[in-house]
Amino acid sequence: MKRPITAALAVIGYVIMIVPIIFVVATAFTAGSTLRFPPDGISLRWFDEALGYEPFIEAAISSLELAVLATALALLVGVPATLAIHRGKLPGKGLVEGLFLSPLIVPELVVGLALFQQLMIGMDLDNFSTLLVGHTALMLPYAVRVTGASLALADPGLEEAARGLGASPLRAFFTVTLPVLRPGIFSAGLLSVVTSFNNVPLSLLLQGRDFRTLPVTMLDYVQQSYDPMVAAASTLILAATVVIAVIAERTVGFAKIFGGINQ
């Protein structure tokens, strides 16, 4: 009885996730002027409108800038932390790793409120700097967990052999450890960029007039207008995400990397 129930629950879960996406994508191709399903004819009109709408373009550039910087900072902190947790003699490794993974558990609104009080009000930081700190904190779990999975698949004897042959710790890192970590770093970077780019709760709470991300701009647009341009923009983002995922799978192989997480 367990397998049919599990299969039924899985099907229900897929339906709940996929059907709304189908509605949005179908609506994006409508020839009509309002959000309705089924669409009134087929047209690429709203894709052209979305690609030419200046607030969306400016917000997309801002979101990409924020996502790339936050990902770079998260990797700069997360990769050394991963090495310290898995290869170093760090006391309380489980506690340290739990701290790095805690942003996955703590609600983003709580994180955003804390940053707003401490950084924007207490230290008078601008919106972009505060968002950068927040997004970096949210991306740390990806850097630590995914890179750690890649490191878990590696043979520690390779590093020991390199050092036994006379390589310095720095040279052993760049010639042995870094190539082993490269797939995990690449995967963590892609996941972080996509997650940061599409983030809503934290960006919505810490937004300002001087810096706005694309998801927040799209949310504001939906509150003021009822045309399908947001559906077209959402479909473009979805398509870009799928393309990135396919390229990453062909280049790195997500299954291999994420298989190491359970080890």
Q: What is the pLDDT of residues 39-49, one digit of tens each?
A: 777 888 888 88
Are 63 and 197 within 8 A, CB to CB? yes
pLDDT given at position 255: 57
Identify whether residues 62 and 39 lie together within a single domain.
Answer: no
Can you state the angle between helices 45-52 and 54-86, rounded to 10 degrees? Answer: 80
Identify whether residues 66 and 15 lie together within a single domain.
Answer: no
pTM for the full model? 0.81
**Average of per-residue pLDDT across 71-94:** 81
pLDDT given at position 74: 92
Amino acid at 65: E
pLDDT in tens, 3-21: 777 778 888 888 888 888 8
Distance (Å, whole) CA 40 – CA 136: 43
Residue 260 clears pLDDT 50, i.e. is over it: no
Q: Residue 122 gets which letter from DSSP? A: S
Beta bridge partners of residue 211, listed in sequence order: 208
The per-residue pLDDT of the chain, averaged, comes to: 80
Are 162 and 175 within 8 A, CB to CB? yes
Q: Residue 260 gets which letter from DSSP? A: G
3-state DSSP call for residue 30?
strand
Asked whether residue 53 is domain-assigned, the answer is no
pLDDT in tens, 241-258: 888 878 777 766 655 555
Amino acid at 92: G
Asked whether residue 67 is domain-assigned, the answer is yes
pLDDT given at position 32: 76
3-state DSSP call for residue 220?
helix
Q: Residue 126's closest CA among 207, 66, 58, 205?
A: 207
Identify whether residues 66 and 176 lie together within a single domain.
Answer: yes
Asked whether residue 48 is domain-assigned, the answer is no
**Average of per-residue pLDDT across 133-156:** 81
Residue 225 clears pLDDT 90, i.e. is over it: no
Asked whether residue 198 is domain-assigned, the answer is yes
Asked whether residue 201 is domain-assigned, the answer is yes
The domain tally of the chain equals 2
pLDDT in tens, 162-221: 666 666 767 777 777 777 778 788 888 888 898 899 888 888 888 777 788 888 888 888
Identify whether residues 246 and 138 lie together within a single domain.
Answer: yes
Identify whether residues 116 and 9 lie together within a single domain.
Answer: no
Range of the domain at 110: 58-262
Question: What are the φ/ψ torsions at residue 168 (nearest 5 degrees)?
Answer: -70, 160
Find where tokens 């690449």 sit. Answer: 186
Q: Is the bond leading into 80 cis (omega within 30 degrees of zero)?
A: no
Residue 261 clears pLDDT 50, i.e. is over it: no
Asked whether residue 52 is domain-assigned, the answer is no
pLDDT in tens, 151-172: 776 666 666 676 666 667 677 7
Distance (Å, whole) CA 13 – CA 11: 5
Give the least confident one: 87-96, 111-120, 157-166.
157-166
Give the least confident one: 98-107, 222-231, 249-258.
249-258
Distance (Å, whole) CA 142 – CA 125: 26
pLDDT given at position 154: 66
pLDDT given at position 263: 47
Identify whether residues 127 and 178 lie together within a single domain.
Answer: yes
pLDDT given at position 155: 66
